[in-house]
Amino acid sequence: MTGEGRLVLAGAPIGQAGDVSPRLREALAGADVVAAEDTRRLRRLTVELGVEIAGRVVSYYDANEAARAEELLEALLEGRTVVVITDAGMPGVSDPGYRLTRLAVEAGVTVTALPGPSAVTTALAVSGLPSDRFCFEGFPPRKPGDRARRLEALAREERTMVFFEAPHRLAASLEAMAGAFGADRPAAVCRELTKTYEEVRRGGLGELAAWAEAGVKGEITVVVAGHTAADEEADLPALVAEVDRRVAAGEQRKTAVADVAKAAGVPKRELYDAVHRRSATP
């Protein structure tokens, strides 16, 4: 019966149950198996929707994703319809779903999706930043060193960037973004999108980092403007001279570069390279 099953990736509401489509109601009610990131949240959603799931409900979250994917593939190969639903948004986008989708595709199983609300495109739309070209970067690395390296690699990315972040790491991430992209780089912090306490905070990364220091709650999506030609207009020779002045006064070069770059709103890597080039010149 290989290939006769059907995998349905179901987009879940990111805040309001009323955003659910009629097709999702039908899919949940008619599925042979519903794999949910959080079975308790799924129950609350079905109660709100007035939907009764006749099939089997199983958990499918980060810790059991690999093992559960194999089990769900077996159901698909037996000809079952399996619906995957996460807490919010689309399965596979910073949520469980990719492993099972990959296995299903390799096995020749039909894979389809029920589109739904997305925090990525919703935040992009309300940010007020360019939306003609964008990239989704997911969650920044948790470790400061790894995070700094990842952001430095994105310093010259021209597309608008969208990130997810946990509220307790938001201030540190915004501070790191200010260091990598420049304190004046336009950005927006979108909190609790579509929910009762929805908030969109817009400003430069440095300003937003200072605001987040007081603490922020809720689901967070960060939108950051891409690198533009205007970012090239900073007076690098003057900034290099300022770094030299600080180093001559006894400050470490690394610290001087970081402080000057942040104050000028230029990527730290760009200033460091300029200082290195000048030092290497006979």
Using DSSP's 3-state secondary structure scheme, residue 186 falls into strand
Q: Where are the domains of the chain?
A: 6-117, 120-228, 234-280
Full-model pTM: 0.81
**DSSP string covering 56-121:** EEEE--GGGHHHHHHHHHHHHHTT-EEEEE-SSB-TTSSSTTHHHHHHHHHTT-EEEEE----HHH
**CB burial of residue 241 (10 Å; 0-12, 13-18, 19+):** middle
Using an 8 Å Cβ cutoff, are 77 and 65 in contact? no
Q: Any residues with CB less than 8 A from the CB of 202 and at least 6 apart, and which?
A: 127, 128, 186, 187, 188
Domains 6-117 and 120-228 share a fold: no
Residue type, 244: D
Mark residue 50 as left, alpha or beta (left: phi above 0; alpha: psi -120 to 50; beta: remaining). Answer: left
> Could you tell me the fold of the domain covering 6-117?
Cobalt-precorrin-4 Transmethylase; domain 1 (3.40.1010)
- For the domain covering 120-228, report its CATH number: 3.30.950.10
Q: Find, among 105, 175, 110, the residue nearest to 140 by Cα.
A: 175
Using an 8 Å Cβ cutoff, are 164 and 192 in contact? no
Residue 1's pLDDT is 42
Q: Find, among 99, 46, 91, 37, the residue nearest to 73 by Cα.
A: 99
Encode the chain (282 residues) as per-residue pLDDT tens digits: 444 799 999 999 999 988 998 999 999 999 999 999 999 999 999 999 999 999 999 999 999 999 999 999 999 999 999 999 999 999 998 889 999 999 999 999 999 999 989 999 999 999 999 999 999 999 999 999 999 999 989 988 999 999 999 999 999 999 999 988 988 899 999 999 999 999 999 999 999 999 999 999 999 999 999 998 776 655 677 788 889 889 999 999 999 998 888 777 677 888 888 888 877 665
Using an 8 Å Cβ cutoff, are 221 and 41 in contact? no
